């Protein structure tokens, strides 16, 4: 009877999470990463597996699966977001499974699943056409299998083998989803080695064989991976320290409550609140009652430590989104601490619960309010009303895919900000023949300025002055109309000035 009640509660929580992830999927405009994902997902899957085309920074597994989904359910951004929402929803029962495999009570398992169901950052990522929810699901399932192995949940040799097979399959799968998998596999390997060492050589042999198979499964992609490494792609840039500092807040409230645009003091205050009022009490109560699931601490802390080490010693590799796959572990940690807290200090546990609920509800209310992505739909609508036969040039080229999606009839041309960097004074534009091409457009053209790189954002005043001096501005749509959150998106309809 208790098992049935637990399963009913789990189904209710899962359906709640599904509703939160799938409601109003078209409310926000497509943004550049989503446009890139859709573009890749519509490519031939056989070509993707061969690295044709090659994503400079990711393996092809997500795009191949996305291709199958888009073929079955349509190629719209809403369909792509539903794909992410589907796997984001599956993270809810996967978290419950992890909690039970770690020996946690029904109350902890259901609470952890509920926290994942209503988690603002996980819901946000479930409403984007990106890999993170599928990545999170596979890592959570791998953690559940690892806990089953550590706690010897299987009673038969076949059951023990099944747990190792499940862990191996999950590891091989998520190694084709995101390159953070290498960091996570390192943490998993160390965690399992330490936990299994007292059992003797037999368990360590299974661990070794599992990792041999995971590596063997990745070998066919190794030449493409080496090619990606040669491209020199980095993650996180100079802001990785900021992402590390705000991680406690991001893991609970995402970016919709407060973020860097709100100022350092506000973000620091909210981060301190998340750490002092939620995380530290949960850790203390869980440790005091000896109910703290070790995996819920070991996996996130290990991943952060490895990411920080690589960021300091080699290349910036720490970004909030890349750490999101361990958020179910953090929600399990908090759930375990809160349940333990009601036995140690009920009043304090209620304070933590209300604070956490307040952070999440406030963040969710702002999440569904919208306005978190640059909106390309009014840009496309403005062009359609004025003159939709003119070519449109996008600087930077990152905006071209989003504009093509919203205006499929438009002839969109990309201006590479590396090869055709504007500063100083459009010298590269002139050298590479771009200015001659623009000047020869007697009927005029559209120029979309979309600046997303730290090197190009300061160029906006110079670009604006240059275009107004060289061309006649027939009409424009820009920051005065667009949300002030995205001031680096501006549209001009230009004509060469007559001599």
| pLDDT tens figures, 350-405 | 999 999 999 999 999 999 998 788 888 988 999 999 877 899 999 988 889 999 99
- Residue 483 is predicted with a pLDDT of 47
- Residue 303 is predicted with a pLDDT of 96
- Residue 55 is predicted with a pLDDT of 87
- The answer to whether the pTM exceeds 0.85 is yes
Structure token digits, residue 276: 């002092």
Q: Where are the beta strands (DSSP E) in 270-414?
A: 392-395, 412-414
Tell me the CA distances in angstroms from 96 to 76, 142, 278, 323, one per residue in order: 32, 13, 20, 20
Tell me the CA distances in angstroms from 421 to 145, 222, 459, 472, one per residue in order: 49, 33, 10, 22
Sign of CA dihedral 452, 456, 458, 459: negative
Contacts with 136 (C-beta within 8 Å, 6 or more apart), sequence order: 87, 88, 91, 122, 125, 324, 325, 327, 328
Rg over alpha carbons for the chain, rounded to the nearest Å, is: 25
- Residue 182 is predicted with a pLDDT of 96
Report yes or no: 401 and 423 within 8 Å, Cβ to Cβ. Answer: no
> 443: helix, coil or strand?
coil
- Residue 482 is predicted with a pLDDT of 45
DSSP calls for 303-317? HHHHHHHHHHHTS--
Report yes or no: 377 and 26 within 8 Å, Cβ to Cβ. Answer: no
Report yes or no: 87 and 134 within 8 Å, Cβ to Cβ. Answer: yes
Report yes or no: 329 and 299 within 8 Å, Cβ to Cβ. Answer: yes
Counting as low any pLDDT under 70, the low residues of the chain are 1, 232-238, 261, 479-487, 499
Cα separation, 446 vs 309, whole angstroms: 45
Q: Is 349 exposed, middle or buried (0-12, 13-18, 19+ CB in 10 A)?
A: buried
- In this structure, the strands spanning 489-496 and 471-477 are antiparallel
Residue 461, CA atoms < 13 Å, CB-side half-sphere: 1
Cα separation, 77 vs 29, whole angstroms: 9
Cα separation, 145 vs 206, whole angstroms: 13
Cα separation, 336 vs 290, whole angstroms: 10
Cα separation, 295 vs 302, whole angstroms: 10
- Residue 237 is predicted with a pLDDT of 54
Place of tokens 């500063």: 423
Cα separation, 181 vs 298, whole angstroms: 16
- Residue 235 is predicted with a pLDDT of 53
Alpha carbon 115 to its chain's center: 18
């Amino acid at each position: 009877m208790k098992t049935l009640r637990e399963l009913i509660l789990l189904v209710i929580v899962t359906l709640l999470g599904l509703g939160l992830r799938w409601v109003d999927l078209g409310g926000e405009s497509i943004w550049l990463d989503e446009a890139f994902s859709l573009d890749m997902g519509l490519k031939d899957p056989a070509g993707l597996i061969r690295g044709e085309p090659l994503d400079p920074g990711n393996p092809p597994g997500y795009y191949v699966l996305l291709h199958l989904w888009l073929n079955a359910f349509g190629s719209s951004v809403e369909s792509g977001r539903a794909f992410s929402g589907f796997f984001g929803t599956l993270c809810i029962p996967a978290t419950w499974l992890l909690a039970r495999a770690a020996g946690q009570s029904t109350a902890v398992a259901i609470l952890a699943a509920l926290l994942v169901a209503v988690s603002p950052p996980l819901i946000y990522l479930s409403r984007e056409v990106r890999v993170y929810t599928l990545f999170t699901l596979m890592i959570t399932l791998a953690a559940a299998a690892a806990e089953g192995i550590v706690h010897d949940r299987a009673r038969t040799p076949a059951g023990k083998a099944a747990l190792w097979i499940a862990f191996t399959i999950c590891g091989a799968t998520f190694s084709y989803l995101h390159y953070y998998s290498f960091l996570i596999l390192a943490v998993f390997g160390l965690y399992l080695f330490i936990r299994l060492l007292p059992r003797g050589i037999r368990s360590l042999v299974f661990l070794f064989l599992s990792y041999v198979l995971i590596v063997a499964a990745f070998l066919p992609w190794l030449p493409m991976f080496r090619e990606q490494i040669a491209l020199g792609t980095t993650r996180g840039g100079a802001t990785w320290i900021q992402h590390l500092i705000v991680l406690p807040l991001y893991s609970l409230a995402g970016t919709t409550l407060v973020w860097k645009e709100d100022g350092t003091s506000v973000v620091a205050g909210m981060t301190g609140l998340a750490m002092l009022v939620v995380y530290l009490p949960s850790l203390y109560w869980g440790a005091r009652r000896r109910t703290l699931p070790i995996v819920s601490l070991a996996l996130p802390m290990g991943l952060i430590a490895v990411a920080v080490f690589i960021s300091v010693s080699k290349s910036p590799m720490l970004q909030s989104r890349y750490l999101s796959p361990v958020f179910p572990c953090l929600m399990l940690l908090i759930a375990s601490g809160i349940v333990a807290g009601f036995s140690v200090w009920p009043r304090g546990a209620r304070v933590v619960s209300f604070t956490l609920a307040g952070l999440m509800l406030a963040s969710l209310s702002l999440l569904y309010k919208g306005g978190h992505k640059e909106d390309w739909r009014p840009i496309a609508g403005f062009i359609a009303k004025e003159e939709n036969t003119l070519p449109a040039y996008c600087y930077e080229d990152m905006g071209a895919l989003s504009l093509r999606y919203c205006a499929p009839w438009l002839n969109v041309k990309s201006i590479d900000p590396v090869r055709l960097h504007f500063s100083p004074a459009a010298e590269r534009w002139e050298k590479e023949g771009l200015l001659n091409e623009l000047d020869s457009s007697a009927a005029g053209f559209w120029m979309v300025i979309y600046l997303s790189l730290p090197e190009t954002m300061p160029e906006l005043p110079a670009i604006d002055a240059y275009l107004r001096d060289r061309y006649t501005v027939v009409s424009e749509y820009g920051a005065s109309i667009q949300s002030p959150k995205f001031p680096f998106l501006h549209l001009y309809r230009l004509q060469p000035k007559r001599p």
